[in-house]
């Protein structure tokens, strides 16, 4: 098995074998590969804002925003553009290079999409990369987002095809793949990963990574989330995932998708500094920054800056998204720009 070129033909047995490696061997292999493509001491930082909160018709078993569960979350309408620009400006001043906007929709209406396009253009005018997560998209909607200059579209696979029905019934795994295909066909960079700790098996985690790594083009950004248990959702009370299993999954994601940004996303508030340090050693080189992720908490900025100081890490500098163009990969030169 060679690490020299990205592959798109990984078997489930190969990925499980990676997950089964002795921990030190796995991290050594992941860190060695990470250094071929990235500066190991730079981390890309994104900020996430909920631009439309709650009242979602989906039944994702982990989500506080589903209208099907009583999580005491107050629904909010789509934010005005001015409020989004204010939040993006503050995020940029704090060091974020990418501004991500999430709306709790099954799929956007054309009217709502036009309002989001206004937000994308306004945030790009600040010199930041843009990312949105709006649910399922048609091919024409993906085209409109590309014409607006969108850099990234987030649409997570969440888990394996085999375990998927235990978490979500209101859309299929294939629906997710089709949205990713629409985004990829338009040349928009794909942000897609999953959630760990939902009661899935190691084989399920391997299967999810196989789906991601065997896409026609690896996602440019791969968020690895740790389940944040929300009271009132079906997954509240699920047995906590072994922290070493989370780190192993990060390391294998790095090996399978060597030029992708691997992001620590939801769940960092439940991680110790030592666990996060192991994730960076395993090849994570992106994270969400700020005290809130959509509706759940995140470590405070002071804590993150202190952790970076202790580890000798630096925030990656902002790329010129208007000249780089959507679809650029995560090579060392891009990471050092």
pLDDT in tens, 256-314: 999 999 999 888 888 999 999 999 999 999 987 755 454 454 556 788 889 999 999 99
Higher pLDDT, 336 or 38: 38
pLDDT at 300: 66
**Could you confirm whether 100 is annotated as catalytic?**
yes
* Backbone dihedral angles phi then psi of residue 105, each to the nearest 5 degrees: -125, 150
pLDDT band with cut points at 50, 70 and 90 for residue 55:
low
- Which structure tokens are listed for 44? 């890309």
| Residue 240 CB burial class (10 angstroms; 0-12, 13-18, ≥19) | exposed
Percent residues over pLDDT 90 in the chain: 55
Give me the mean pLDDT over the 205-234 stretch.
92
pLDDT at 337: 21
pLDDT at 29: 97
Asked whether the predicted pLDDT for residue 51 surpasses 60, the reply is yes
pLDDT band with cut points at 50, 70 and 90 for residue 324:
very low
Least confident of 132-136, 196-200, 287-291: 287-291
Query: What is the pLDDT of the chain when averaged over all its residues?
Result: 85
Pair 55, 63: CB distance under 8 Å: no
Residue tagged active-site, from 29, 63, 268, 279: 63
Q: Do the annotations mark residue 279 as ligand-binding?
A: no
Higher pLDDT, 186 or 335: 186
| Residue 300 falls inside a structural domain | yes
| Residue 122 falls inside a structural domain | yes
What's CA 13's distance to the chain center, in Å? Answer: 25
pLDDT band with cut points at 50, 70 and 90 for residue 327:
very low
pLDDT band with cut points at 50, 70 and 90 for residue 230:
confident
Asked whether the predicted pLDDT for residue 208 surpasses 90, the reply is yes
Task: Report the relative pairing of strands 292-293 and 296-297 from DSSP bridges.
Answer: antiparallel
| Residue 102 falls inside a structural domain | yes
pLDDT at 322: 40
**Could you confirm whether 279 is annotated as catalytic?**
no
**Could you confirm whether 60 is annotated as catalytic?**
yes
| Residue 335 falls inside a structural domain | no
Query: Length of the chain in residues, anyone?
Result: 337
pLDDT tens figures, 28-43: 999 999 999 999 999 9
Residue tagged active-site, from 29, 98, 124, 131: 131
Higher pLDDT, 268 or 5: 268
Round to whole Å and give the CA distance between 2 and 7. 9
Q: Do the annotations mark residue 56 as ligand-binding?
A: yes
| Residue 1 falls inside a structural domain | no
Instruction: Return contacts of 156-159, CB within 8 angstroms, 24+ apart.
Output: 156/192, 156/193, 156/194, 156/195, 156/223, 156/225, 157/192, 157/193, 157/194, 157/208, 157/211, 157/212, 158/60, 158/194, 158/195, 158/208, 159/194, 159/195, 159/198, 159/200, 159/204, 159/208
Residue tagged active-site, from 29, 60, 205, 279: 60
Least confident of 54-68, 119-133, 139-153: 54-68
Q: What is the DSSP letter of 96?
A: -
Domain range spanning residue 283? 13-313
Higher pLDDT, 235 or 213: 213
Residue tagged active-site, from 98, 100, 184, 254: 100
pLDDT at 336: 25
Tell me the CB-side half-sphere exposure of residue 110, using CA atoms within 13 A: 5
**How many domains, the chain?**
1
| Residue 329 falls inside a structural domain | no
Asked whether the predicted pLDDT for residue 194 surpasses 90, the reply is yes
Q: What is the CATH number of the domain that holds 68?
A: 3.20.20.70
Give me the mean pLDDT over the 52-63 stretch.
72
Cβ within 8 Å of residue 177, ≥6 positions away: 157, 211
Q: Do the annotations mark residue 60 as ligand-binding?
A: yes
| Residue 215 falls inside a structural domain | yes
Residue tagged active-site, from 171, 205, 210, 263: 263
pLDDT at 1: 44
| Residue 303 falls inside a structural domain | yes
pLDDT tens figures, 67-124: 566 656 566 678 889 989 988 998 888 878 888 888 878 788 888 899 999 999 999 9
């Amino acid at each position: 098995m060679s690490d020299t070129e990205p592959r798109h033909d990984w078997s489930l047995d190969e990925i499980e074998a990676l997950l089964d490696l002795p921990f030190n061997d796995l991290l050594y292999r992941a860190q060695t590969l990470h250094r071929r493509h990235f500066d190991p001491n730079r981390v890309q930082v994104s900020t996430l804002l909920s631009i439309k909160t709650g009242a979602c018709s989906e039944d994702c078993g982990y989500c506080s925003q589903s209208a099907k569960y009583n999580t005491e979350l107050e629904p909010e309408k789509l934010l005005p553009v001015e409020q989004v620009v204010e939040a993006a400006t503050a995020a940029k001043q704090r060091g974020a290079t990418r501004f991500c906007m999430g709306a709790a929709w099954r799929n956007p209406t054309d009217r709502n999409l036009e309002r989001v396009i206004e937000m994308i253009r306004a945030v790009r005018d600040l010199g930041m990369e843009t990312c949105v997560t709006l649910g399922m998209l048609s091919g024409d909607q993906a085209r409109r987002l590309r014409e607006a200059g969108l850099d990234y579209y987030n649409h997570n696979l969440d888990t394996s095809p085999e375990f998927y029905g235990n978490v979500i019934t209101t859309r299929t795994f294939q629906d997710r793949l089709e949205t990713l295909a629409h985004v990829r066909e338009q040349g928009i960079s794909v942000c897609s990963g999953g959630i760990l700790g939902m009661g899935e098996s190691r084989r399920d985690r391997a299967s999810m990574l196989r789906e991601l790594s065997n896409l026609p083009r690896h996602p440019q950004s791969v968020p690895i989330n740790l389940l944040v248990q929300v009271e009132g959702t079906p997954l509240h009370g699920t047995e906590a995932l072994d922290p070493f299993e989370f780190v192993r999954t990060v390391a294998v994601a790095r090996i399978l998708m060597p030029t992708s940004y691997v992001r620590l996303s939801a769940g960092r508030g439940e991680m110790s500094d030592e666990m996060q340090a192991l994730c960076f050693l395993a090849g994570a080189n992106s994270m969400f920054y700020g005290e809130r992720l959509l509706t759940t908490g995140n470590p405070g900025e002071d804590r993150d800056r202190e952790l970076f100081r202790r580890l000798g890490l630096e925030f990656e500098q902002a790329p010129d998204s208007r000249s780089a163009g959507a679809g650029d990969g995560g090579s060392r030169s891009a990471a050092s720009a």
